[in-house]
Amino acid sequence: MGDFLVKQLGGKGNIWVLRGLPAHPEDINRYKGLLESIKGTDVKIIAEDAGKWQYDVGKQVCETLYLNNPKVDGIWSSGADMTRACVDVFQQYGAKIPPITGEGNNGFFARWIELGFPSISPEYGPEQGAAGVRAVVALLEGKQLHKRYIYEPEGWDLEKAKKFYRKDLSANVWFPTSLTEQDLQRYYGKR
């Protein structure tokens, strides 16, 4: 996400940062990645706050940042719901949406496809959790495991988001998923 913003901004500009849950390891790791990406560039963090990976908290943060200083060149958002919230704030004020990072979430995909703003969707698929559970079970069963697993998929562009977006499912579906079509409809289908 950081590399995307650096490229979009040509290595210089002012960004807002919307972090997830304070002190959560995933938030810390994502933030470290951003700092690594902007190191040695003229991209500056001019404001940051925790949106807690939630739409309503993210919207409050974005509204506060916008009303304090709407001149921002890009937004690093650590979560799809916070991204949707920022997009809604910029639309509410009739402002152009700057480059902003998202996630593989159906609700985010809908807004991205509809409005076409510059973005990227890193892949943090829910399958990571399922893989972790399978690994624990295998370990308990005495099966051999690798000492380390690396998961570094490429970020998704708008065209890939369009292929996965499902109008018939709620905003709460995360991609990629291994849920069957029956389970997708059961848990996320619009009735």
Closest CA to 103 of 130, 87, 95: 87
Instruction: Let me know if 83 is exposed, middle or buried by CB neighbors in 10 A (0-12, 13-18, 19+).
Output: buried
Q: Could you tell me which residues come within 8 angstroms of residue 186 by beta carbon, excluding any fewer than 6 positions away?
A: none
Task: List, in sequence order, every residue forming a beta bridge with 76; answer none if it has no partner.
Answer: 17
Tens-place pLDDT, residues 152-172: 778 899 999 999 999 999 999
pLDDT level of residue 140 (50, 70, 90 thresholds):
very high
pLDDT tens-digit series, residues 5-23: 999 999 999 999 999 998 9
Query: Does residue 131 lie within any of the structural domains?
Result: no
CATH of the domain at 16: 3.40.50.2300
Residue 2 pLDDT exceeds 80: yes
Domain assignment present for residue 116? The answer is yes
Whether 50 maps to a domain, the answer reads yes
Q: What whole-number percentage of the chain has pLDDT above 90?
A: 83
For the beta carbon of residue 14, count every other beta carbon within 10 angstroms.
17
Please indicate, yes or no, if residue 184 is contained in any of the structural domains: yes
Confidence of residue 110 (pLDDT cuts 50, 70, 90): very high
pLDDT at 44: 98
- At residue 38, the pLDDT reads 98
Number of domains into which the chain is organized: 1
| Structural domain of 61 | 2-125+154-188
Pairing of strands 74-77, 42-50: unpaired
Spatial CA neighbour of 3 closest among 173, 143, 152, 160: 152
Per the domain annotation, does 75 fall within a domain?
yes
User: Considering the domain boundaries, does residue 145 fall inside one?
Assistant: no
Cβ(85)–Cβ(59) below 8 Å: yes
Q: Is residue 68 assigned to a domain?
A: yes
pLDDT digits (tens, 9 = 90+) for 50-85: 999 999 999 999 999 999 999 999 999 999 999 999
Q: Is residue 15 part of a domain?
A: yes
